Amino acid sequence: MKKPTAKLREELARLQEELKQAETRDAERIGRIALKAGLGDFEVDTGELQSAFEEIAKRFRNGSTGGAKAQKAAVGPGQTAGQSAEA
């Protein structure tokens, strides 16, 4: 049975709102990570920053995250990759 147009529009509006909320959560998460990495401390051209993020996305899409996972496993809780356990 086909859905009426009004029902489809309601469903579409609901899905668009869900997408907007998901994008907001993702943007906030990525923004917090960028700030922790120090990107908020200096001015960066938006185009350059977007290119850098695209390179990072490409690296993770290609599955070459083994180094990052291994590095993360070697780091204790509350530490960054540059910190040692003795610090």
Q: Helix (H, G, I), strand (E, B), or coil: what is residue 29? A: helix
Q: CA-to-CA distance for 21 and 53, rounded, in angstroms? A: 21
Query: Residue 54 belongs to what domain range?
Result: 5-62
Residues 41-87: tens digit of each pLDDT: 989 899 999 999 999 999 999 886 555 554 454 444 455 444 444 43
Q: What is the pLDDT of residue 1?
A: 75
Q: How many residues does the chain have?
A: 87
Q: What is the pLDDT of residue 8?
A: 97
Backbone angles phi, psi at 3, to 5 degrees: -85, 145
Q: What is the pLDDT of residue 63?
A: 82
Q: Which amino acid appears at position 34 of this protein?
A: A
Q: Quick check: is 80 in a domain?
A: no
Do 78 and 84 form a contact (C-beta atoms < 8 A)? Answer: no
Q: Quick check: is 51 in a domain?
A: yes
Q: Quick check: is 72 in a domain?
A: no
Mean pLDDT of 25-30: 97
Q: What is the pLDDT of residue 3?
A: 87
Mean pLDDT of 13-32: 97
Domain count, the chain: 1
Q: CA-to-CA distance for 4 and 8, rounded, in angstroms? A: 6
Q: Quick check: is 27 in a domain?
A: yes
Do 71 and 81 form a contact (C-beta atoms < 8 A)? Answer: yes
Q: Quick check: is 20 in a domain?
A: yes
